[in-house]
Structure 1
């Protein structure tokens, strides 16, 4: 946990902190990590992440949005639900890229680099998850800054439950990234959707 916390400190900010927008550098894409669905719609925690991504796009901090989540079952499709949520809030569908095999943080980071060709991203997640997410994405070869949603303001009990899991999750992330150099569950093939969006937005 200390490894992730201190290593990521210069590369992350929590949305809502004074001057947080000015600290966020420009990036190719916001990488939004999945956080569950409720009745087919983004959970409250995931909605918080998506609201931040929408603001990053509207303010010109990112040129595309990479939505990485779980679609391991036909009836459970995180990326499509995320895309629908953003579209309803004015983010154009043609700047969104859907990663249907972002089964965990490490997979999402590796696939962003290896499958979608991302180089510089702003990863968006909850504040308690941000040190691990930033550290793993940087370990995967991405130039990464992170913006966290302080969900304790709206979802204190849920946030506490998830935050208590971070110690074990960080240990797994360390093993995946630095010891095992694990490949994602689905490592490919290469997709051109993100690079097409970026070329069009120059």
Structure 2
């Protein structure tokens, strides 16, 4: 009995010490947690507020010369479900006369993986003339696509096309690149797109935090290169 009593007292002592530690550090840890959450979420709040007046529906967006469609993955030679929705929006914009040229920007770093060419083929299959589609093979991330549209292709005014969760960041980055930018997004909820869309919303605060570097420093894209006349030629073509 005595051994059990001593064990119980020892256990109670440990609990009291643990409780004391929790009370001692709960305040500082709570403050640090709050600061961390603010640091992650504040850029998102700013982007949503700052770009609100530039985000539209397909029906309401102002006319611009160019639609910039950002890459979002290719599966077995076909656009991913999210990318297909972006391309469908671009087709709708073109048919409505909201844009004259579609600039498709994506990844082509690896042999056998060519987002822009797959994107072009999809648009052509939907009735967009090939002469009105321009490929950017070095759109490795959103900032690269935006700044290359300005510096390589000479675009000064465009409509960026992506998902709703990505749209505030995309509009903010393209405007920071010196382009008069409006944005059109798709909610992409339903069917095979739902899971990817939910993941997009989850990762977007961290992606926006990373984007603050580009918004602040305006770095060169990963691949720059010489100027290309593709957009100008597409606008001039009949």
Query: Does TM-score exceed 0.5, indicating one fold?
Result: yes
Question: Where in structure 2 are the equivalents of 1:74-113 lying within 5 Å?
Answer: 74-113=111-150
CA drift of 1:182 comes to 1.2
> 1:195 aligned to 2:195?
no
Matched, 1:4 2:47: yes
TM-score normalised to structure 2 length: 0.79
Q: 1:51 to 1:168 in 2, by over 3 A?
A: same
Residue 188 of structure 1 deviates from its aligned partner by: 2.1
Q: Deviations over 1:171-194 (max 9, x none)?
A: 11111121x221101112100010
Q: What is the CA–CA distance in structure 1 between the aligned matches of 2:218 and 2:172, rounded to whole Å? A: 14
Q: SS in structure 2 opposite 1:152?
A: coil
Q: Does 1:125 align with 2:162?
A: yes
**Match runs of 1:17-166 below 5 Å:** 20-154=57-191, 155-166=193-204
Q: Who wins on radius of gyration, i.e. which is larger?
A: 2
Describe the SS at the equivalent of 2:165.
helix
Higher relative contact order (CA 8 A, sep 6+): 1
Runs of 4 or more, structure 1, over 6 Å off, are none
Unaligned runs of 5+ in 2: 1-43
The answer for the alignment partner of 1:16 in structure 2 is none
In structure 2, how many angstroms separate the alpha carbons of the residues matched to 1:114 and 1:153?
A: 37
Cα distance, 1:197 vs. partner?
1.7
> What does the per-residue CA deviation read over 1:10-62, in whole Å, with 9 as the maximum and x for residues that have no partner?
0012xxxxxx3442100011000000011111000000000000110111000
1 or 2, which has the higher helix percentage? Answer: 2
CA distance in structure 1 between the aligned counterparts of 2:46 and 2:143, rounded to whole angstroms? 16
* Structure 1 or 2: more strand by fraction: 1
Mind listing any 5+ residue stretches in structure 1 that lack a counterpart?
A: 14-19
